[in-house]
């Protein structure tokens, strides 16, 4: 049984070889040009026109959704339709026509008016066995900024993708929209490399990332040197800095604080998991540390999350197989109503305790969760055995190994 360790930004505070002296003034550094990263693709499944219209009817109450009002002329019977062509805060529709032999053409509602016939068609290029298209445009900047437009780019790839329910793979568009900009900070005797990560041309959302070359080795370790924008602070040497990122990624500013803040929790295998308290759905007060001596899987999930639901049968099977040997699961539900969660848990016979964390709750914030599901596997000493990182892991094999110990 394999489940995905999901995604998340983790890090640790290290000290540079030559820590800078306290600087009373903020330090601002410019960044280089944006670079597209082919990581973390979003998936938009292609549908028949009837399937699209049924979905569009359900989405009409969403303020950001722009339904298709006119199709392009001359579409073939092979044409399929989809949503999630997101641009300038609008969720727009698209039509994809063609096949693997003749190639593909995308008609996307770039101007967001619902008419797919008045936008320039995008012809995909066959490269390395996949049809892809690099989309570039300039979007209107938000009011209050000293620029009119900012660059946006992402890559679209035609692919066959298995739906969350594991059914037969379907035609879909993969969208690669993660971008980065790099620069150097003038701290101490040598410049310090940094990078900021963004999407959609912006970089200052709380879930975006910033990385600092804290150990001065010329590389940026995603496990030990990456921070969420929402974390706000980084310790460099004996100084704590509050960092701020320009919305459009043009610069980063570090402001020194008079007092040093304590180091962050380290989300790395072999280090202790931070404790938290919660009241389960039966009203019982619990703490993570109550399970010391057990092997624990912390499952950050929600009933609204397709991949979370797809993993439930595997979690139930693992719980039934290993619970008697000392395996526990602690579910941390995110962003829904308690009544809905209670009904779902009862119907699906999820026998392990659930922490109802609400929207942007304290447990999700403590563990810096940016993607769902996210799994943390703890050994009997309460230390991390597996942490989020995008890779899959064999839960049965990990449990057998940890419980044997």
Do 273 and 168 lie in one domain? The reply is no
Question: In sequence order, which ranges of 106-222 are alpha helices (DSSP H)?
Answer: none
DSSP secondary-structure letter at 191?
A: -
Residue 128 belongs to what domain range?
42-176
259 part of a folded domain: no
pLDDT per position as a tens digit, 362-396: 898 888 887 888 999 999 999 999 987 655 788 99
- Looking at the 3D structure of the chain, how many domains does it have? 2
pLDDT per position as a tens digit, 302-358: 888 888 888 899 999 999 999 999 999 999 998 677 888 889 999 999 999 999 886
Q: Which of 249, 302, 248, 295 is nearest to 273 (CA)?
A: 295
Most confident stretch, 76-80, 162-166, 367-371: 76-80
Do 63 and 163 lie in one domain? The reply is yes
Question: Which three-class secondary structure state does DSSP give residue 259?
Answer: coil
DSSP string, 326-341: TEEEEEEE-SS-HHHH
Do 53 and 155 lie in one domain? The reply is yes
CA atoms within 13 A on the CB side of 124: 27
What six digits make up the tokens of 228?
A: 């969420």
Rounded to the nearest 10 degrees, what angle do helices 395-404 and 306-322 cross at?
30
Do 281 and 400 lie in one domain? The reply is yes
Q: Are strands 392-394 and 2-4 parallel, antiparallel or unpaired?
A: antiparallel
Given a contact cutoff of 8 angstroms between Cβ atoms, the answer to whether 78 and 71 are in contact is no
Above pLDDT 70, what percent of the chain? 92
Do 387 and 275 lie in one domain? The reply is yes
Model-level pTM?
0.70
Q: Which of 176, 199, 216 is the endpoint of a domain?
A: 176
Sheet containing 125-127: give its strands across. 42-45, 170-176, 149-161, 130-140, 125-127
What six digits make up the tokens of 157?
A: 């790839």
Question: Position of tokens 């919305």?
Answer: 247
161 part of a folded domain: yes
Do 46 and 153 lie in one domain? The reply is yes
pLDDT, mean of residues 197-218 = 94
400 part of a folded domain: yes
Q: Which of 176, 200, 227 is the endpoint of a domain?
A: 176
1 part of a folded domain: no
Q: Which of 258, 257, 213, 259 is nearest to 18 (CA)?
A: 213
Query: ∠ CA(90), CA(94), CA(99), 5° rounding?
Result: 155
**pLDDT of res. 3:** 56
Distances 235 to 10, 21, 142, 243, 265 between C-alpha atoms, Å: 15, 12, 32, 11, 13
Q: Which of 368, 293, 378 is nearest to 330 (CA)?
A: 378
**pLDDT of res. 337:** 79
Given a contact cutoff of 8 angstroms between Cβ atoms, the answer to whether 247 and 203 are in contact is yes
Given a contact cutoff of 8 angstroms between Cβ atoms, the answer to whether 350 and 316 are in contact is yes
Confidence of residue 13 (pLDDT cuts 50, 70, 90): very low
**Beta bridge partners of residue 295, listed in sequence order:** 327
Give the largest Cα separation in the chain, rounded: 68
Confidence of residue 262 (pLDDT cuts 50, 70, 90): confident
pLDDT at 18 over 70: no
**pLDDT of res. 207:** 87
**pLDDT of res. 27:** 96
**Beta bridge partners of residue 120, listed in sequence order:** none
Own/partner pairs, 217-222, CB within 8 angstroms, 24+ separation: 218/193, 220/193, 220/194, 220/195, 222/9, 222/10
Q: Which of 113, 145, 176 is the endpoint of a domain?
A: 176
Confidence of residue 20 (pLDDT cuts 50, 70, 90): low
15 part of a folded domain: no
310 part of a folded domain: yes
28 part of a folded domain: no
Does residue 145 or residue 7 have the better pLDDT?
A: 145
Please tell me the distance from the alpha carbon of residue 327 to that of residue 271, in angstroms, as a whole number: 19
**pLDDT of res. 10:** 34
246 part of a folded domain: no
Please tell me the distance from the alpha carbon of residue 215 to that of residue 286, in angstroms, as a whole number: 39
Distances 320 to 266, 329, 340, 366, 395 between C-alpha atoms, Å: 31, 11, 24, 29, 13
* Residue 263 Cα to chain centre, angstroms: 24
Confidence of residue 11 (pLDDT cuts 50, 70, 90): very low
Given a contact cutoff of 8 angstroms between Cβ atoms, the answer to whether 208 and 245 are in contact is yes
238 CB-contact burial (10 Å; exposed 0-12 / middle 13-18 / buried 19+): exposed
Please tell me the distance from the alpha carbon of residue 218 to that of residue 111, in angstroms, as a whole number: 42
Please tell me the distance from the alpha carbon of residue 236 to that of residue 213, in angstroms, as a whole number: 10
**pLDDT of res. 390:** 53
Do 156 and 276 lie in one domain? The reply is no
């Amino acid at each position: 049984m394999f489940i995905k360790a999901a995604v998340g930004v983790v890090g640790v505070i290290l000290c540079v070889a030559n820590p800078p002296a306290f600087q009373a003034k903020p330090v601002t550094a410019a960044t280089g040009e944006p670079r597209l990263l082919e990581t973390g693709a979003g998936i938009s499944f292609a549908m028949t026109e009837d399937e699209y219209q049924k979905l569009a009817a359900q989405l009409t109450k969403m303020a950001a959704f722009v339904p298709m009002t006119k199709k392009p002329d001359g579409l073939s019977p092979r044409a399929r339709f989809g949503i999630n062509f997101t641009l300038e805060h609008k969720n727009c529709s698209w039509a994809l026509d063609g096949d693997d032999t003749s190639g593909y053409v995308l008609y996307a509602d770039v101007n967001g008016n619902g008419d797919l016939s008045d936008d320039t068609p995008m012809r995909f290029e066959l490269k390395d066995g996949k049809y892809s298209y690099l989309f570039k445009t300039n979007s209107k900047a938000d009011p209050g900024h000293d620029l009119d437009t900012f660059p946006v780019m992402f890559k679209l790839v035609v692919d066959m993708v298995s739906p969350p329910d594991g059914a037969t793979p379907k035609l879909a568009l993969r969208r690669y929209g993660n971008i980065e900009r790099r620069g150097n900070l003038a701290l101490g005797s040598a410049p310090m490399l940094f990078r900021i990560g963004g999407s959609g041309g912006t970089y200052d959302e709380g879930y975006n990332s910033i990385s600092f070359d804290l150990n001065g080795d010329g590389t940026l370790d995603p496990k030990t040197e990456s921070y969420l924008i929402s974390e706000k602070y980084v310790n460099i040497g004996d100084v704590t800095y509050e960092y701020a990122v320009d919305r459009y990624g043009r610069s980063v500013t570090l402001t020194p604080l008079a007092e040093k803040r304590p180091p962050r929790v380290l989300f790395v295998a072999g280090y202790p998991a931070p404790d938290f308290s919660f009241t389960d759905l039966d009203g019982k007060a619990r703490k993570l540390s109550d399970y010391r001596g057990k092997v624990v899987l912390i499952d950050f999930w929600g009933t609204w999350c397709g991949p979370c639901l797809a993993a439930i049968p595997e979690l139930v099977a693992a719980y039934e197989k290993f619970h008697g040997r000392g395996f526990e699961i602690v579910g941390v539900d995110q962003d829904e109503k308690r009544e809905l969660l209670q009904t779902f848990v009862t119907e699906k016979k999820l026998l392990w305790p659930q922490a109802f964390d609400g929207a942007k709750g304290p447990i999700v914030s403590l563990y810096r969760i940016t993607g769902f599901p996210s799994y943390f596997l703890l050994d009997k000493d309460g230390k991390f055995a597996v942490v989020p990182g995008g890779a899959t892991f064999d839960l049965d094999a990990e449990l057998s190994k940890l419980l044997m110990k």
